[in-house]
Structure 1
Amino acid sequence: MRAVWLFVLLLAALPARAEEIVMGLSKDNVSISTDFDGSEILIFGAVKREDPIRTEPPLQVVLTVAGPKTPVTVWRKERRLGIWVNTEAVEVDAAPSFYAVATSVPWREAISAVEDLRHEVSIPRAIRSVGAPMEIEDAQVFTDALIRIRERAGLYQLHEGIVTLTESTLFDAAISMPANITEGRYTIRVFLTRDGAVVARHSSVIEVRKVGLERWLFTLSRNEPLLYGLMSVAAAVLAGWGASAAFRALRSG
């Protein structure tokens, strides 16, 4: 009987049913065509709950959009004999081709360092460990360099405070994807946090695919590399001949 009462007391001490996320996307796929100049995804949703809204600590939202992960070799360049050459290199085990993070409040208020480590939310955490030779002591510098390069290209993004959260229930945010994204499966994650701790999470996937001429050329380059190379050379020759003919015509005119 005592064990039963202990069990009842334990049940009473458990937190109320956690909040759940209902998420929607403005599109299920992104098509990359010859005139593709980027795309925007609207991520929206609601917090489903049975109990009254808790106001303290306040609810926050963090969302991420991640492209396919691939290994990346990062080189260090040094000036030798008047020219820049590659010297040391570090292999990054897996880095997302595209990664965006958006929050409803400044980053430090949105999620704790422990939860970031656990769920790999921030850009540095989304990049897996670096396999560096033992003689390279500053391997983290290579990862930082990769992040800076992709930030400048618009492929890595941190948007603090752009997630709109209404009455701790409705949320939405728009993420812009640049023209230089790669195709593949993109994972979208939404986290609900309170006082930096994750209380609920949800994920979804969209497909990014080349279509039309872009798809045909991509497939040809993979399946028929020789033919693709010959076509590329022929196109370059024709372009050069056309430019030369146009220049001669202008000079003679």
Structure 2
Amino acid sequence: MIRALLLLLALTLPARAEEVVMGLSRDSVAITTDFNGSEVLIFGAVKREAAIQADPPLRVIVSVAGPVTPVTVWRKERRLGIWVNTEAVEIDAAPSFYAVASSAPWDESISEVEDLRHKVSIERAIRSVGAPMAIADSQSFTDALIRVRERAGLYKTFYDSVEFRESTLFDVAIRMPATIVEGTYTTRVFLTRGGTVVSQHASTLEVRKVGLERWLFNLSRNQSALYGLLSLVIAIAAGWGASAAFRALKSG
């Protein structure tokens, strides 16, 4: 059904040499108290007005980027037997979540010049222009941020993983972890040939807290005193309940 709808959509679009169209399995993700992550299916088709050109072959790249924020990255060094923060670099803009997938090995999918222009890879999606002149290896701070977020499952690469059938239909599933933040997530699809982007399309995905999670979030932001008092009451009640249960078990 999805493939049929995409092909129908492709036929109704204005004619171009090669144009990519895309869709998402969902347009929103709800973060609840029991949220443990979510998977989004990104699919699409290539519309063309001529026969498929076999050489160089078409490639598809898909990226999903979370809200972008500045990040301060510190370097720790051992001083007098303890680890302390020493130098820091302010990274101007780093996506809170970033996943990129391609239908072929990365070096066959896009050139360095095109990657720099469209900021597709994780390294290019992060902007760091304010590093102090005194820190010669400022790039190492960006590399450290990438490593930390890769270990947390927030930065992901899936090279040679997009299913691309007969140079026309494609799809890939991106798993988003439970630790994602709410906000607008941007999904981009690039169609490349010989490393050059020939078409692209973008869409958005909304990630929002709902229910009790949303109520607690708003309470912590708008009425911090009440939120703190409520947290204290809950902690006291939990402690009293555990103590009462222990006494009941002991007496029994």
TM-score, scaled to structure 2: 0.91
Question: 1:249 deviation in Å?
Answer: 3.2
Question: 1:177 deviation in Å?
Answer: 0.3
3-state secondary structure, aligned to 1:181: coil
Structure 2 portions without partners, runs of 5+: 1-14
Question: 1:229 deviation in Å?
Answer: 1.3
3-state secondary structure, aligned to 1:231: helix
Say yes or no: does 1:220 pair with 2:222: no
Question: 1:17 deviation in Å?
Answer: 3.9
Matched AA of 1:184? G
Give the Cα separation in 1 of the matches to 2:17 and 2:172: 23
Change (3 A) 1:183 1:167: same
Moved more, 210-219 or 230-239: 230-239
The answer to whether the 8 Å contact 2:103/2:161 transfers is: yes
Give the Cα separation in 2 of the matches to 1:90 and 1:181: 23
Counterpart in 2 of 1:140? 139
Q: Which runs of 4+ in 1 moved over 6 A?
A: none
Question: 1:242 deviation in Å?
Answer: 2.4
The answer to whether the 8 Å contact 2:90/2:128 transfers is: no
The answer to whether the 8 Å contact 1:18/1:200 transfers is: no
Change (3 A) 1:131 1:241: farther
Matches within 5 A, 1:76-225: 76-225=75-224
Structure 1 portions without partners, runs of 5+: 1-15
Matched AA of 2:217? F
Give the Cα separation in 2 of the matches to 1:225 and 1:173: 41
Give the Cα separation in 2 of the matches to 1:166 and 1:21: 14
Question: 1:130 deviation in Å?
Answer: 4.0
Q: List per-residue Cα deviations over 1:97-145 (Å, max 9, x = no partner).
A: 0000000011111111110000000001000124222222111111111
Question: 1:234 deviation in Å?
Answer: 1.9
The answer to whether the 8 Å contact 1:21/1:47 transfers is: yes
Give the Cα separation in 1 of the matches to 2:226 and 2:102: 47
Moved more, 125-134 or 170-179: 125-134
The answer to whether the 8 Å contact 1:185/1:208 transfers is: yes
Counterpart in 2 of 1:3? none
3-state secondary structure, aligned to 2:56: coil
Greater CA radius of gyration, 1 or 2?
1
Question: 1:75 deviation in Å?
Answer: 1.1
Give the Cα separation in 2 of the matches to 1:158 and 1:55: 26
3-state secondary structure, aligned to 1:191: strand
The answer to whether the 8 Å contact 1:62/1:110 transfers is: yes
Identity within the alignment, % = 74
Q: Considering only aligned residues, what root-mean-square deviation do their CA atoms show, in Å?
A: 1.4
Change (3 A) 1:79 1:252: farther
Matched AA of 1:156? Y
Question: 1:85 deviation in Å?
Answer: 1.8
Aligned residues: 238
